[in-house]
């Protein structure tokens, strides 16, 4: 390697600075992870007398997790996983179809419609919560999985991502398939979708995280304990009288860990591109 | 095996008229090349034949059946695209069998047809590869193979060789010609490369600004262009043109230089005309018109000269080596039969 010479001092400064930054980012998470493994009584004790005990617990215990496991948190995880999974599956199909239509066809009002799509993801969700809730109520969906899933399926940002990707596929692919006798649906499922794994991965992740992190809408639309999702269940651990800090930290930890899994699974698609090769 | 008839075909995009009334008959087994400068509508015409664009008016019939309003899959045509459009996520085998699978052929039929086509094109060893693992020439062959397996009524080629380097292009050109002689299918081939058109086609259709300027056998068009555009478009190096007026049994260039006219040519004197002659028709003679050599370009077998005659540079191509240098005076001549005269206003050929 022909890296240019760097003075050791500059290197030390650089890595020193980066280490401090990394520490600042990781520290609260590490503290959170460790705190969840402490006995209730000990959680805040070492903070007041700052020392190495602040970070290293004197005793590790899974009590907090056991308590969670026996409460209704597992149901919340199940709810969240189900809601997020369904949103990802339907969301990818619906948004990819919409994006494909915008990319492949010319139809009256296309630009106006696409503008609305773009506006839809610039609009803060809070602005449409009330009308949306009224609508969901009118459908008789309050406190149901539909209320949690359906409004999140169509996603302007994801439609935009798919449209951009499909528009970047040379039209010759579509046209060659048409001359070969393929229907548009066939072209969508057999040509466009197989080429768009990176976009599918990114979109799936966005849809998943949006659902996994969502709090406001679930509180509004499905606050019954049977439909509580993870974030709602976590928030239940906070109240004015008495805080179950151990339970709060443990549930937060689980939410973070589970939320990371999809990302770890599909991150390799981020750098991968399948487009190369078919065109000159 | 099939014929095609196009009748008064027009196509507009908004207010822009791309095709302005195309009439074309293609005989069974014929190889027709559509040529013209970019923007002349040749690719649009091909896309209309394929069904990728809808005609504004007029009709297209394949084998006597009107297909003007049919979608591409109802026309039984195969098309080879300029950038090949091989599906990158499918192997060569799957790419070639794609249309057969769509048609619902069983696996054994698809396999045997793909294997046959691969043998014809020398792709046997590459069937399990992906397009990204192939060279440009191999991709071109796969694209052709994808068309062959279908055994369509009509083959359409949209500048299939323009993405290859010069050497490979010449080789693939020969392969396509051999393929046509072997398959004897009806083929329509769009190109802007007039050498490709000359060498491949049974018939060349020269287009300009959405109209057919002239069509005919390659050498007929080369020898008797119907107008100055066709004369200038076919042939490389291109035909030389000199502006001037007709005198009595001769041509007067704008600077007064006298140049010969075709034997027995007789037309009104004083008419503004274009005097055209192909570079290889001019040569050194004892008595003729004089010029000054400006540039000498030896290519090996040929020598190409730029000679200033009648105040403008003429390209002279000689199939031998010449000992001349820039600045030399030359006396040049041309056979009467090799001279083309065109009307200066509309470019029309003035004599038979």
Q: How far is A273 from chain B (nearest CA, A)?
A: 11
Tens of pLDDT, residues A186-198: 999 999 999 888 8
Tens of pLDDT, residues A62-84: 888 888 888 888 999 999 999 99
Please report how many Cα atoms fall inside a 13 Å half-sphere around the Cα of residue B87, on the Cβ side. Answer: 28
d(CA B214, CA B194): 14
Q: What is the average pLDDT score of chain B?
A: 92
Tens of pLDDT, residues B209-236: 999 999 999 999 999 999 999 999 998 8
Predicted pLDDT of residue A7: 84
Q: CB distance A176–B79 less than 8 Å?
A: yes
Please answer whether residues A24 and A16 qualify as being in contact, where contact means their C-beta atoms are separated by less than 8 angstroms: no
Sequence spans of domains, chain B:
4-226, 237-343
Predicted pLDDT of residue A264: 86
User: Which among B14, B72, B82, B85 is the top mutation candidate for probing chain A, defined by the most A β-carbons within 10 Å of its own β-carbon?
Assistant: B85
- Smallest Cβ–Cβ distance between A180 and the set B82, B98, B139 belongs to B98
Q: Which fold has domain B237-343?
A: OB fold (Dihydrolipoamide Acetyltransferase, E2P) (2.40.50)
Sequence spans of domains, chain A:
8-66, 71-270
Output DSSP code: residue B131.
Answer: G
Query: Pairing state of beta strands B339-343 and B329-334?
Result: unpaired
- Smallest Cβ–Cβ distance between B88 and the set A180, A182, A195 belongs to A195
Q: Which fold has domain B4-226?
A: Rossmann fold (3.40.50)
Residue B113: partners with Cβ closer than 8 Å, 6 or more residues away: B97, B100, B105, B149
Please report how many Cα atoms fall inside a 13 Å half-sphere around the Cα of residue B310, on the Cβ side. Answer: 22
pLDDT along chain B (352 residues), means of 10: 91 93 95 93 95 94 94 92 92 95 93 92 92 92 92 93 89 91 93 91 95 95 94 92 90 89 81 93 90 93 92 92 90 92 92 76
φ, ψ for residue B116 (rounded to 5)?
A: -60, -50
Query: Which residues in B lie closer than 8 A to residue A193 (C-beta atoms)?
Result: none
Per-residue confidence band for A54, with pLDDT thresholds at 50, 70 and 90:
low
Q: Return the minimum-mean-pLDDT range out of A20-34, A153-167, B273-287.
A: A20-34
Q: Burial of B277 by CB count in 10 Å (0-12 exposed, 13-18 middle, 19+ buried)? A: buried
Residue A74: partners with Cβ closer than 8 Å, 6 or more residues away: A68
Please answer whether residues A195 and A275 qualify as being in contact, where contact means their C-beta atoms are separated by less than 8 angstroms: yes
Q: How far is B13 from chain A (nearest CA, A)?
A: 13
pLDDT exceeds 50 at position A274: no
Percent of chain A whose pLDDT exceeds 70: 86
CATH class, A71-270 region:
mainly alpha
Query: Can you tell me the mean pLDDT for A228-255?
Result: 81
CA distance between the termini of chain A: 33
| Tokens linked to B41 | 């509508």
- Smallest Cβ–Cβ distance between B85 and the set A176, A186, A195 belongs to A176
pLDDT exceeds 70 at position A4: no
Q: CB distance A181–B99 less than 8 Å?
A: yes
Please answer whether residues B243 and B274 qualify as being in contact, where contact means their C-beta atoms are separated by less than 8 angstroms: yes
pLDDT exceeds 80 at position A51: no
Residue B195: partners with Cβ closer than 8 Å, 6 or more residues away: B236
d(CA B290, CA A38): 106
List Cα–Cα distances, B48 to A203, B1, B11, B60, B160, in angstroms: 37, 20, 9, 9, 17
ipTM of the complex: 0.83
Which three-class secondary structure string do you get for chain A? CCCCCCCHHHHHHHHHHHHHHHHHHHHHHHHHHHHCCCCHHHCCHHHHCCCHHHCCCCCCCCHHHHHHHHCCHHHHHHHHHHHHHHHHHHHHHHHHHHHHHHHHCCCCCHHHHHHHHHHHHHCCHHHHHHHHHHHHHHCCCCCCHHHHHHHHHCCHHHHHHHHHHHHHCCHHHHHHHHHCCCCHHHHHHHHHHHHCHHHHHHHHHHHHHHHHHCCHHHHHHCCCHHHCCHHHHHHHCCCCCCCCHHHHHHHHHHHHHHHHHHHHHHHHHHCCCCCCCCCC
Residue of B nearest to A181 (CA): B73
Peptide bond into B54 cis (omega under 30): no
Q: CB distance B88–A277 less than 8 Å?
A: yes
Q: CB distance B84–A274 less than 8 Å?
A: no
Q: Does A280 touch chain B (CB under 8 A)?
A: yes
Q: Burial of B324 by CB count in 10 Å (0-12 exposed, 13-18 middle, 19+ buried)? A: middle
Query: Can you tell me the mean pLDDT for A201-226?
Result: 90
Q: CB distance A178–B73 less than 8 Å?
A: yes
List the 60-79 stretch of A: residues with Cβ below 8 A of B.
none
């Amino acid at each position: 390697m022909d890296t240019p010479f760097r003075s050791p001092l500059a290197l030390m400064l650089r890595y020193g600075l980066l280490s401090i930054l990394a520490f600042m980012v990781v520290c609260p998470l590490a503290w959170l992870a460790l705190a969840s493994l402490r006995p209730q009584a000990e959680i805040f004790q070492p903070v007041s007398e700052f020392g190495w005990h602040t970070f290293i617990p004197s005793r590790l215990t899974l009590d907090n997790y056991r308590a969670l496991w026996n409460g209704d948190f597992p149901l919340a995880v199940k709810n969240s996983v189900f809601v997020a999974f369904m949103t990802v599956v339907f969301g990818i199909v619906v948004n990819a179809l919409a994006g494909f239509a915008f990319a492949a066809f010319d139809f009256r009002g296309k630009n106006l419609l696409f503008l609305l799509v773009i506006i839809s993801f610039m609009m803060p969700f809070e602005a449409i919560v009330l009308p949306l809730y009224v609508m969901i109520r009118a459908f008789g969906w309050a406190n149901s999985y539909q209320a949690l899933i359906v409004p999140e399926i169509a996603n302007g940002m994801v439609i935009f991502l798919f449209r951009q990707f499909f528009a970047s596929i040379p039209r010759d692919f579509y046209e060659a398939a048409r001359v070969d006798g393929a229907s548009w649906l066939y072209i969508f499922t057999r040509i466009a979708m197989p080429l768009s794994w990176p976009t599918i991965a990114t979109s799936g992740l966005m849809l998943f995280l949006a659902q996994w992190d969502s709090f406001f809408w679930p509180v509004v639309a499905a606050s019954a304990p049977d439909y509580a999702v993870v974030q709602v269940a976590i928030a239940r651990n906070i109240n004015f009288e008495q805080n179950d800090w151990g339970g709060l930290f443990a549930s937060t930890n689980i939410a973070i860990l589970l939320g990371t899994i999809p990302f770890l699974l599909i991150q390799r698609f981020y750098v991968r591109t399948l487009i190369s090769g078919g065109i000159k | 095996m099939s014929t095609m008839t196009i009748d008064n075909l027009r196509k507009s995009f908004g207010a822009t008229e791309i095709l302005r009334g195309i009439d074309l008959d293609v005989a069974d087994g014929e190889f027709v090349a559509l040529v013209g400068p970019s923007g002349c509508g040749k690719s649009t015409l091909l896309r209309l034949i394929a069904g990728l664009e809808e005609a504004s008016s007029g009709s297209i019939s394949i084998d006597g059946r009107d297909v003007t309003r049919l979608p591409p899959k109802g026309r039984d045509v195969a098309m080879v695209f300029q950038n090949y459009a091989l599906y990158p996520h499918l192997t060569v085998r799957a790419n070639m069998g794609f249309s057969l699978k769509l048609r619902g052929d069983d696996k054994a039929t698809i396999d045997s047809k793909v294997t046959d086509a691969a043998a014809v094109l020398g792709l046997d060893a590459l069937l399990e590869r992906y397009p990204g693992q192939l060279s440009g020439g191999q991709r071109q062959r796969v694209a052709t193979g994808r068309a062959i397996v279908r055994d369509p009524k009509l083959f359409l080629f949209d500048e299939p060789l323009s993405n290859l380097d010069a050497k490979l292009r010449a080789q693939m050109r020969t392969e396509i010609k051999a393929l046509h002689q072997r398959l004897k299918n009806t083929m329509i081939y769009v190109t802007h490369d007039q050498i490709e058109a000359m060498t491949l086609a049974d018939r060349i259709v020269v287009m300009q600004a959405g109209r057919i300027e002239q069509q005919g056998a390659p050498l007929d068009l080369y020898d008797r262009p119907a107008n100055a555009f066709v004369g200038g478009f076919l042939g490389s190096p291109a035909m030389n043109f000199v502006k001037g007026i007709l005198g009595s049994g001769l041509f007067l260039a704008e600077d007064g230089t006298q140049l010969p006219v075709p034997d027995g040519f007789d037309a009104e004197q004083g008419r503004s005309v274009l005097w055209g002659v192909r570079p290889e028709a001019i040569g050194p003679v004892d008595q003729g018109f004089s010029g000054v050599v400006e540039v000498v370009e030896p290519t090996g077998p040929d020598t190409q000269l730029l000679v200033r005659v009648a105040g403008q540079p003429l390209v002279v191509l000689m199939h031998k080596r010449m000992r001349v240098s820039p600045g030399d005076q030359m006396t040049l001549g041309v056979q009467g039969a090799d001279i083309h005269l065109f009307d200066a206003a509309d470019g029309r050929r003035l004599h038979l």
